[in-house]
Homo-oligomer: A and B are copies of this chain.
Amino acid sequence: MGKVKTKNKFNDFLLTQGLKSTNQRELILEEFLCAGSHLSTEELYLRLRRKNPRIGYATVHRTLKLFAECGIAEQRHFGDGQARYEASDHDEHHDHLICVACGKIVEFEDPRIEELQVEVAGGHGFTIERHRLELYGCCSDCCQG
């Protein structure tokens, strides 16, 4: 989803929910979209402060929750104890490769794995709603090259 489309979606969301469009929300969305994905609240907050020192952590936190609520962002946890947010391409699911050395996060998608998941779950009487697959290892920059 393009930047403009995402911003429109957020504005629509605000309107339909009776929420207000504010300067902070615009700044946060802009920074969220142009900064790399998978930023933590803290990281995004620090980036924003560089440009606008008057912005508060609580506002960043609340705004990220709004993003998630309206479907333009998704919250993730990669085991380092803090929540991270990634821009959501909506209905296009992907999983993650995480380098344990440098922290790099790569997204991937594999329909064959998804298919097997459904099969395995079915075998146990489960209907899958969502899943989480994270592969932790070493990327080529860190461990081979």
Q: Which positions in A face B, CB cutoff 8 Å? A: 77, 79, 97, 99-100, 106, 108, 110, 112-113, 116-117, 120-121, 124-140, 143-144
Among residues of B, the one whose C-beta sits closest to the C-beta of A106 is B124
Copies, count: 2
Given A77-B77, A77-B79, A97-B121, verify A126-B137 contact (CB < 8 Å): yes
Choose from B125, B130, B134, B144 the contact partner of A139 (Cβ within 8 Å): B125
Can you name 13 extra interface pairs (CB under 8 A) apart from A116-B116, A127-B137, A130-B137? A97-B124, A97-B126, A106-B124, A108-B120, A112-B116, A113-B120, A117-B135, A120-B135, A126-B137, A127-B143, A128-B137, A129-B136, A129-B138
User: CA of A140 to CA of B124 in the docked complex: distance in angstroms?
Assistant: 8
B contact residues around A121 at 8 Å (CB):
97, 135, 137
Which residues from B are CB-within-8-Å of A77?
Answer: 77, 79
CB pair A138 B127 closer than 8 Å? yes
CB neighbours (8 Å) of A132 from chain B are 79, 132-134, 136
Among A125, A130, A138, the one with the most B-chain Cβ atoms within 10 Å of its Cβ is A125
CA distance A120 to B135 in the complex (A): 10
The residues of B that contact A128 with a CB separation of less than 8 Å are 135-137
**B117 to A116, Cβ gap below 8 A?**
no
